[in-house]
Chain A
Amino acid sequence: MPRIAYAFPDEVLEHVFSFIHSDQDRNAISLVCKSWYEIERWCRRSIFVGNCYAVSPVMVVKRFPKLRSISLKGKPHFADFNLVPEDWGGYACPWIEAMASAYPWLEEIRLKRMVLTDESLELISKSFKNFQVLVLSSCEGFSTDGLAAIAANCRNLRELDLRESEVEDLSGHWLSQFPDSFTSLVSLNISCLGSEVSTCALERLLAGCPNLQSLRLNRAVPLEKLVNLLGRSPNLVELGTGAYTSEMQPDVFSDLSRAFVGCKQLKSLSGFWDAMPYYLPAVYPISSRLTSLNLSYATTESPYLVKLVSECRNLQRLWVMDYIEDSGLEALAVSCKDLRELRVFPSDPFGLEPNVALTERGLVSVSEGCPELQSVLYFCRQMSNAALVTIARNRPNMTRFRLCIIEPRKPDYLTLQPLDAGFGAIVEHCKNLRRLSLSGLLTDRVFEYIGSYGKKLEMLSVAFAGDSDLGLHYVLSGCDNLRKLEVRDCPFGDKALLANAAKLETMRSLWMSSCNVSFGACKLLGQKMPRLNVEVIIDERGPPDSMPESCLVEKLYIYRTVAGPRMDMPGFVWRMEGDSALRVS
């Protein structure tokens, strides 16, 4: 048989491969044969590492010598909700150091939930001559000093995006570090910064950067200044305002309106902290252009929100607080037929009684009225199986469905039954569902449905649900495409975990906290599965030697890895290994 693979010179294959960008396709190419593996690894330009501990920086650098772009994720998702202790890990430093020496031509770094120091930022700013994109999503550990180094040294910077990171705000002057000759900025997101940035520096920056398309300011930028800034960035496509409030001044209003109109490409608005009703209509002249509106920081009352939203007939994405209420969502369903993504956030999540008239009805309306709706995040205080079944039947094209009923274990408020049937309908009808978050009263039955129907499900979040190990077993044995499972406060234990040990190697990670998993099971799992890191987080400050096998583990994080045990575990994290002194008689 002719060896067709070798009929083409490497350069030709490389050229062909250069059209393949998706990570999955690239991975598939590399598995065809040794020769393709070699060619592919030399021409791979971009990689995504979903768990920074699944592989080591040394291994990455060795396999892919010519990377231009890298994305890394660190802490588990539940770190967003304070379930992961401080100093758990996710340090970017070893990665930055490895890349600084290996990739002088690196252009892009994207980090999520990682810890990054000012020293690393400085290293980035000095090591990569053509550095262009820095995205730090939910990161921490650095200050505005580090940002100053980036501003001062990265001559070709296009994107600086600090979304939701925790930055130590030492001074607003870092922005002045961009040199006068700096022109390349396309995207700037500083919305997470607490203190003021120098408006002069901002204005100067914007004046010099005609290609700026995305600008997200922080709360400290007053509304009056926004007008000036908009004047200098006529090409903006995305704008995040600062505080959207001021003394009611007609001048400011009309200037603002004119400034919005002047940005002819403007499609996306966010910010709106403390949004005053008086200024919302300034958006009306451009409302038909808007495809994305993030009002999730606007603590404005319903009628004003509703009016604004009803004007935006081409809206595809809406993030809003529950002040919009059911009536507002009904109006949304009538006006915004192109809506694809809806997120409704709680204004009073800890209150014991509802403070707004937002129930399951709002979500049902939107599911009925918006045929393109695919992605939902919804916080509410009551739900029924009937509503969920209706939503499922209305929207079989749903791909992401996250429902948070605020009170744990709350049943169907009409029948007082568990919500198994409702969520069952969701997984049954929404055949392309990739992400699901559950809440309310749920028995093992819902997991049976999920295991049977959730064949495309990649990420599942579970809290205060289930009756027994069966629940976990259904999910692990049924969901063929499951990559991430995070569970808290569920009676899932050893049997299901051990019976599905092999499944864990096909997943990125499993988080379990406040469940019924014992030390003994963790040790056994660690022993049997050397390519998993079975990490136990304990509250005592000493080794778990004295813990009896039957003692329950408080927090457990299991992930597949080819890098072996991680070297940076803090004192409260223990990796379970079969042959360690952790075995207790």
Chain B
Amino acid sequence: MSSPENQPQDAAVELNFNDTELTLGLPGAAKTGSKREFSHTLEASSTSAKSPAQKAQVVGWPPVRASRKSVMKKCKYVKVAVDGAPYLRKVDLEMYQSYDQLLSSLETMFTCLTIWNDLNQKNCERGKNNNGGEYVPTYEDKDGDWMMVGDVPWNMFVESCKRIRLMMSSEEATTGFGARRGSSE
């Protein structure tokens, strides 16, 4: 159950950070100024092109023809949002072979955030997302519909996923991923 003093803060978080695209680096990853510029270019390109939000890369860059794609390493970056977290992350779905791998990677990623939250004394109690319990993994597909992660074969998911959102379950939903009975908002 969220304490009253958290609610206004949560609201503030919603307002201020909904569209913030600050990317956190994994420990040890080099982040240079030019890289951030590149990320902004990515965002700027995607929004100005008004292309479907699935494009996690700059369209048509680097300029390599489709016929070469079969011999190149693929990459499919999608944004991952977690309800209540101020930052979005990006993952490359091509790096995983299964749902298990993806979800355990997400758990690791967002455990870091929980730690950050703890240090800043935000919301230490709730969230209990160390094992993905409170959070239901969902994704937006090519048609713009929000789906439960895990329903379709992995390859189909990689192909059709545009973005991922770990939703706080507001009722006692049981997912296949070890949900715990959590308090609702």
CB<8 Å pairs between A and B, sample of 25: A78-B60, A80-B66, A83-B60, A164-B67, A273-B71, A297-B71, A299-B71, A345-B64, A346-B72, A347-B71, A347-B73, A349-B62, A349-B64, A350-B57, A350-B75, A351-B75, A355-B73, A404-B62, A408-B41, A408-B61, A463-B61, A514-B45, A514-B48, A552-B48, A554-B49
Q: What are the residues of chain B within 8 A of A80 when measuring CB–CB?
A: 63, 65-66
Q: A345 and B68: CB pair below 8 A?
A: yes
A347 to B62, CA, bound (A): 12
Q: Could you say which of A355, A407, A489 contacts B34, with CB atoms under 8 Å apart? A: A407
Q: A346 and B34: CB pair below 8 A?
A: no
A480 to B72, CA, bound (A): 38
Question: Of all chain B residues, which has the CB nearest A554?
Answer: B49
A409 to B72, CA, bound (A): 23
Proximity bits, A332-358, B CB within 8 Å = 1, else 0: 000000000000011111111001000
Question: Which of A355, A411, A464 has the largest number of chain B CB atoms within 10 A?
Answer: A464
Question: Of all chain A residues, which has the CB nearest B77?
Answer: A350
Question: Of all chain B residues, which has the CB nearest A296?
Answer: B68
Q: Could you say which of B35, B62, B65 contacts A406, with CB atoms under 8 Å apart? A: B62
Question: Of all chain B residues, which has the CB nearest A138?
Answer: B65
Q: Is A44's beta carbon under 8 Å from chain B?
A: no
Proximity bits, A306-317, B CB within 8 Å = 1, else 0: 000000000000
Q: Is A585's beta carbon under 8 Å from chain B?
A: no
Q: A514 and B60: CB pair below 8 A?
A: no
Proximity bits, B64-97, A CB within 8 Å = 1, else 0: 1111101111110000000000000000000000
* Chain B 31-70 residues near chain A, CB threshold 8 A: 34-35, 37-38, 41, 45, 48-51, 57-68, 70
B98–chain A nearest beta-carbon distance, Å: 21
Q: Given A408-B38, A489-B41, A514-B45, are A349 and B60 neighbors across the interface (CB < 8 Å)?
A: no
Q: A410 and B65: CB pair below 8 A?
A: no
Q: B37 and A409: CB pair below 8 A?
A: yes
Proximity bits, A454-485, B CB within 8 Å = 1, else 0: 00000001011000000000000000000000
Question: Of all chain B residues, which has the CB nearest A402?
Answer: B63
B124–chain A nearest beta-carbon distance, Å: 33
Question: Of all chain B residues, which has the CB nearest A514?
Answer: B48
Q: What are the residues of chain B within 8 A of A348 when measuring CB–CB?
A: 72-73
Q: What are the residues of chain B within 8 A of A155 when measuring CB–CB?
A: none
Q: Could you say which of A82, A350, A351 contacts B60, with CB atoms under 8 Å apart? A: A82
Q: B68 and A81: CB pair below 8 A?
A: no
Interface residues of chain B, those whose CB is within 8 Å of chain A, are 34-35, 37-38, 41, 45, 48-51, 57-68, 70-75
Q: A404 and B37: CB pair below 8 A?
A: no
Q: What are the residues of chain A within 8 A of B38 when measuring CB–CB?
A: 407-409
Question: Of all chain B residues, which has the CB nearest A353?
Answer: B30
A407 to B50, CA, bound (A): 22
B30–chain A nearest beta-carbon distance, Å: 8
Q: Is A38's beta carbon under 8 Å from chain B?
A: no
Q: Is A192's beta carbon under 8 Å from chain B?
A: yes
Q: What are the residues of chain A within 8 A of B64 when measuring CB–CB?
A: 81, 345-346, 349, 379
A350 to B65, CA, bound (A): 14
Proximity bits, A49-82, B CB within 8 Å = 1, else 0: 0000000000000000000000000000010111
Q: A539 and B71: CB pair below 8 A?
A: no
Q: Is A488's beta carbon under 8 Å from chain B?
A: yes
Q: B34 and A411: CB pair below 8 A?
A: yes
A299 to B73, CA, bound (A): 10
Q: What are the residues of chain A within 8 A of B35 when measuring CB–CB?
A: 352, 407
Q: Is A391's beta carbon under 8 Å from chain B?
A: no
A122–chain B nearest beta-carbon distance, Å: 26
B58–chain A nearest beta-carbon distance, Å: 7
A138 to B35, CA, bound (A): 34
Question: Of all chain B residues, which has the CB nearest A350?
Answer: B75
Q: A81 and B75: CB pair below 8 A?
A: no
